Amino acid sequence: MALPAATLSGQAPCIGRGRSGVVYLLEPPKGPKIARKVFDSGTLTRLVQYAFLGAANPYAWSEHAIRGAFLRRRILAELVPLAFNDSMQVARALGHGWDEKRAAMTLDTEYIDGSYPALHHPLHQEGSKDTDELRLQLLPKLQELLRETGFDGMLWQAGLGNPVAFANFILREDVQGGKQWYWIDLESGVPALFPAQPGALLRVYLPLSVKHRAPLFDHTDTTRLTAWLTRNQARLDAGRGAGTTERLLSDCAALEVSGQQFWQQSRLDRSIASQAAKGRLSSTEATHYRRSPTRWWLRETLRGIRGLATRTLHLCKTLTDQMGQVPWHVIPAQAWSFMFSQQRREQVARAAILIRIDQWTSRGSLSPAHASEIRDAVHAEDSSAWLSDFAVHLSMKPLVKATEWIVFPILLMFGTVDEATVALVILAGGSLSRSLYTGLRTIQEISRGGNPPWVALGVGVLPVLGNLAYPAQITWTGHGARNLPAQFLLYDGMTLVGRRLPIWGGRNTLTEHLFNHSADHIVRRSKRHQS
C-alpha cells in the first residue's frame, strides 16, 4: 500500500547515495527505523536515462515504475531467503510515496544496520573472506535464481558484469556473532547496457533487451515468474508460510500491469509525463505537446542548453569563490619555504598522510587502534628523504594540472603550439614531470653512492598510479616504522584509483575492493624480498 505524500524533515540524516537516488534514515517515535530512498540522479546519469528511456529516472516520477519496484522487492523478499536458506535477505519494501519538497517519488524500506566488507590496510591483510564469499559464491547463485524466475533486469543490480552493484549488499551481525547478507538496493539508475565485461553485454543484456523490446531496465518476465511460482507452490508454502504462493501470484499479476502501463508509453509520453509530474507542465500544455512532438523535443533541447549554461555559470562562480578564499599573499613565502626546506616538505607529507588516516577512520575502514599505530609510525619518522620526495610529487600535481588544462589550451588558441603537443601534455604531463624530478634524484643518489630510487622511477612513469612512486619505493626497500606509513599510502592510493575509476568505480564497489586488495600482493612480495 502506498504511503501518503510526505516530505523529509531537515534533520533526517543521509545514509547512502547512489546513481538512482539518495537514502535517508527515518526514526519514527514508535516502531523500527526506516530507510527512505528519494529517487533522483546526477547530471551524467540523467543524460544516459534521457538517451535510452526518453526521460529522467522513471522511479522519480512514474507511479507505475515505483509500484513495480515495490512489488519486486516484496516478491524477492520471499524468494531470496528461500533459495539461500536465510543466509541472504532482501531489505523489505514498506511503502512508497511522493516528496513534495523534492518533487520526487520515495520508497521506504526496512533499515538494515550493517556494514560493507572491510578494506585492507598494512595491519589488516587477512584474506578477503567476505569479499570472495559475495563475489564468488552468493552473487552467481543469486543471478541463477533471477534467471530462473524471470527477473531479467535485476541481473544488473545483482552484479552480472556490474562491479558497482557490489555496494548493493551489506553484512549484518546478530547478537550471537553470526553474519547475514542483505540486498539493500534493488533499483537501477541506468539501463543494463554498460557492463564492465563485454561478454555480458553480448550474451545477456542485448538479447534480453531484444526480448523485452526496450533497453533493459529492471524488467521482469512475469509469465516466467508465474510459471515458476506455480511449479514451486509446495516448497514456497512450506518454507515461507501457508498462502505465500497465492500472495506472490497476486503481486506478480500486479507487477505485470505496472510494467505494461509504464513500458507501453512512447518516449514522447514518458518525457512529457516526467515533466508534468514535477509540476513543470499543466495538463493543457501536456496535451498540446503530445500533438506537437517536434515542438516538445525542441523545448527539451532548449531546456538542456539552458541547464548546461546554468551549470557552467554555477561552476565558474564556485571556482571564483574558491579562488577568492585562497590566501594569495602567503603563497610566495610558503612556496619558497617548501622549495628550500626539506623539513617543511616532510611536514606537508606527514599532514597529507594524517588526513588520509582520518578519512579511513571516519569511514570505519581503520579501527581506532590501527589508526593510532599508523599515526605513531608517521610521527616516529625521522628526517626522511622519501617523505620530502613524496611531498614534491604531491605539490607538482596542481601545477601540472593547471599547465595541462589552462596554459597549453591558451597557447593553442594563440597558435603557439599545435594540437598534438597539447594532447601529449594532457596525456603524459604528470608522468613527464614526475619522471624528470625522480630522474634527477636518481642521478643525485648515484653520484654520491646512495640508493637510487629505481622503483619510484619506474612507478612514476605510470599514469594515475604515478603518485604512489615513493610509497612503492619505501614499501619495497624500507624497514620498520618507515615502512608502515608508506604501505598505508600504497593501500590508500590503490583504493582511490578504484573508487575514482569512471563508470565502474565508486565507494564499496567491487572495483574499489579489487584495487585495494591488489596492494596485498605488493606488500607481501616486498616483505619476502626484504627477508
* 384 occurs within a structural domain: yes
Q: What is the pLDDT of residues 247-302, one digit of tens each?
A: 999 999 999 999 999 999 999 999 999 999 999 999 999 999 999 999 999 999 99
Q: Per-residue confidence at 127, pLDDT binned at 50, 70, 90?
A: low
pLDDT tops 80 at residue 447: yes
149-153, 222-226, 388-392, 476-480, range with the lowest pLDDT: 476-480
Q: What is the pLDDT of residue 335?
A: 74
* 2 occurs within a structural domain: no
- Same structural domain, 356 and 223: no
CA distance 1 to 18: 25
Query: Does residue 226 or residue 449 have the better pLDDT?
Result: 226
Which segments of 364-468 does DSSP mark as H helices, in order?
368-380, 385-402, 408-413, 419-447, 454-460
334-348, 387-401, 426-440, range with the lowest pLDDT: 334-348
* 519 occurs within a structural domain: no
Q: Grid coordinates representing 190?
A: 541506468
pLDDT over 90 for what percent of the chain?
60
Q: If residue 287 lies in a helix (H) or strand (E), which one and from where to where?
A: helix 283-291
The neighbour count for residue 138, using CB atoms within 10 Å, is 19
- Same structural domain, 181 and 36: yes
**Of 284-298, 313-327, 371-385, highest mean pLDDT:** 284-298
Q: What is the pLDDT of residues 49-108, one digit of tens each?
A: 999 999 999 999 999 999 999 999 999 999 999 999 989 999 999 999 999 999 999 999
Is the distance from CB of 438 to CB of 456 less than 8 angstroms? yes
* 483 occurs within a structural domain: yes
Is the distance from CB of 504 to CB of 487 less than 8 angstroms? no
- Same structural domain, 320 and 271: no
**Last residue of a domain, which of 291, 308, 342?**
291
Q: What is the pLDDT of residues 146-195, one digit of tens each?
A: 999 999 999 999 999 999 999 999 999 877 778 899 999 999 999 999 99
Query: Does residue 102 or residue 477 have the better pLDDT?
Result: 102
* 525 occurs within a structural domain: no
275-289, 330-344, 415-429, range with the lowest pLDDT: 330-344
Quick one: average pLDDT of 413-431? Answer: 85
Q: Grid coordinates representing 14?
A: 543521509
CA distance 349 to 105: 46
- Same structural domain, 182 and 44: yes
Quick one: average pLDDT of 305-313? Answer: 90
CA distance 200 to 222: 23
Quick one: average pLDDT of 503-519? Answer: 93
- Same structural domain, 262 and 311: no
- Same structural domain, 412 and 476: yes
* 339 occurs within a structural domain: yes
pLDDT tops 50 at residue 1: no
pLDDT tops 70 at residue 380: yes
Domain that holds residue 382: 328-500
Q: What is the pLDDT of residue 8?
A: 58
- Same structural domain, 341 and 319: no
- Same structural domain, 155 and 109: yes
- Same structural domain, 18 and 149: yes
**Last residue of a domain, which of 326, 348, 374?**
326
- Same structural domain, 410 and 269: no
Task: Count how many residues are written for the chain.
Answer: 531
Task: State the chain's mean pLDDT as an integer.
Answer: 89
pLDDT over 70 for what percent of the chain?
95
- Same structural domain, 179 and 277: yes
pLDDT tops 80 at residue 226: yes
- Same structural domain, 264 and 157: yes
* 105 occurs within a structural domain: yes
Number of domains into which the chain is organized: 3
* 529 occurs within a structural domain: no
Question: Which residues lie below 8 Å from residue 290, measured CB to CB, with a gap of 6+?
Answer: 268, 269, 272, 296
Q: What is the pLDDT of residues 2-23, one digit of tens each?
A: 444 455 555 789 998 888 899 9
